[in-house]
Amino acid sequence: MTVGIWNLKFGIYIIGIYIIMRVFKFGGASVKDAAGIKNVYDVLQKVGYEDVLLVVSAMGKTTNALELVIKNYFDKSPELNSSVQEVKKYHNQIIMDLFEDEKNQVFVAVNLLFADLEYFLAHNKSPNYNFVYDQIVSFGELISTTILSHFMNFMGIKTQWLDVRNFIKTDANYRDAEVNWELTQKNISKNVKRKTLNITQGFLGSDENNFTTTLGREGSDYTAAIFAYCLNAESVTIWKDVPGVMNADPRYFEKARLLNQISYREAIELAFYGATVIHPKTLQPLQKKEIPLYVKSFINPLLKGTSVSRGADLEPYLPCFIVKRNQLLISLSSIDFSFIMEENISEIFALFHQFKLKVNLIQNSAISFSVCVEDKFGNFKELNTLLSKKFKVEYNENVTLYTIRHFDENAAKTVEHNKIVLLKQLSRETMQVITKE
C-alpha cells in the first residue's frame, strides 16, 4: 500500500510504502494430511503470501488424540505410551509423504517436540488437570506448524516460524485463558517481521511463568483476531472446507445457503448462539478496528466466500439455523413453593460460573427456573449435589437446542418436525427450541 506523509518540519510530502499484513487461519481439516499441506501451498500461490501471517491448528483430530493421552496419563493406564506413539506415527506418516529426503531437518525438529512431550509426561508433578491439559494438548499446534514451515521452505517459500507463546500472554486460567492485551500488543508489534510468510500456532498462549495456556477449544480463530488487532492488519481470512458462512449446517439441513455479507453485529449474534464457523471471541477485536473478516474455501480459494464487516446485517436476508447438541436442560423449583427471586437466580448463576457450565437459554416463572447449559467440563454431577440442598432439581440430558435467527413459520416447522419439544422461547428476531430427538 502506497501512502504519503507530511514532514511538518521541512514542509515536504514524502511518498513511501506502508506494509499492511493479512492474517490467514487454517484449521485442522485443512492440514489433516500431506495433501492438505500441499493444498495450503497451492492456496498461497494463488492468493499471495508476502506480508502474510498464518495461524494454524493441530492436524486433523490430533487434539482428540492428545486428549486420550491426557486421559491415559491421569488413569495411569498401560495404554499411555501406545497413545503417544499413535500421535507420533500419524505425524511421521505425513512427514514421509511430504519430504523425499529422510535427512531433512523436519524429522529432527518434530522428534525434539515429541521428546519434550514424553519428558513432561515422565516428570510432571502437578495434579492440576487443566494445567496438564494445556501443556500436553499444545503439542498438536507446535508440531503442525513445524511441519508446515519446513514444507514451505522446502518448496521455496521462506518462512519465519513463531512460537505464539512468546507473543500472546495470558493469565493462568488454564483451558480458558484471558489475554493480557498490553503485553501481547507489545510483543507482537515489536517482533513480527514484515515482507515474509510468518507461521504460528492457534489456540495457545503463555502465563507470566511461561507455562502454556490455551484460549478455549476452537480458539485458533481468536488467535488470528488477536494478531490482526495488534498488527492493524488489512484483513483476516478463515479458510474452511465450506464456501463460506452458511445459513445452516449442511450436515443437519438440506439446501443450506451461502451468506455473502454479514455485519459484525449479526455475526456476533450468530456466534453467541453457537454458530461454529466463527469463534465467539473472534469478532470483538476485529470490530474495534473495523478489520474485515473473510470466510473462504480452501478448496476453491478464488471464490468470494463470506465477508464480515460493517454494513447490512445479512445478504441475502433469510433465517439462520444453529444447532447445539448434547445439551442439558435443568429445571429448578423451590422446595417450599416460594418464589424464585433475584437473589436465588444470582446464587444459581454464581454456581454455574464456579462449575464452568455455559448457559445458552434461560426461562423462569414464579416458582421455577429453567436453563439449557453446556457441561463441557463434566461438572454437573458435583453441581447437582449443591443445588439439590436448596432446590428441587429436574433435568434432561442429551437434548438439542435449535436457535433460529430471523425465524418464520416455515423455519419453525423445520426444527419441530417429528421431535418432542421440551421448551420454546420467542423474541422479535430469535426463536429457540429445546427438543428431545
Residues flagged as binding site for substrate: 63, 141
HSE at residue 83, side-chain half, CA atoms within 13 A, is: 22
The C-alpha cell at 87 is 500421535
The C-alpha cell at 14 is 514524502
d(CA 407, CA 396): 26
Binding residues for ATP: 25-28, 251
d(CA 57, CA 63): 9
d(CA 109, CA 96): 14
Other beta carbons less than 10 A from residue 51's beta carbon: 19
> Strand ranges (DSSP E) for 182-252?
197-201, 204-206, 212-214, 235-240
The helix (H) or strand (E) run that includes residue 178 is none
d(CA 72, CA 78): 8
DSSP SS3 for 20:
coil
d(CA 310, CA 292): 8
Residue 148 β-bridge partners? none
Backbone φ, ψ for residue 423 (5° rounding): -160, 140
d(CA 236, CA 286): 9
d(CA 161, CA 197): 9
What lies within 8 Å, CB to CB, of 39 at 6+ separation is: 30, 298, 299
Q: Are 24 and 31 in contact (CB under 8 A)?
A: no
Q: Are 377 and 356 in contact (CB under 8 A)?
A: yes
What does the DSSP 8-state code read for residue 305?
-
The helix (H) or strand (E) run that includes residue 383 is helix 380-387
Residue of 263, 180, 197, 178 lying closest to 24 (CA atoms): 197
Binding residues: 25-28, 63, 141, 251
> Strand ranges (DSSP E) for 101-249?
159-161, 197-201, 204-206, 212-214, 235-240
Single-letter residue type at 156 = G
Concatenated DSSP letters for 24-63? EEE-GGGGSSHHHHHHHHHHHHHH--TTEEEEE--STTHH
Rg (CA), the chain: 24
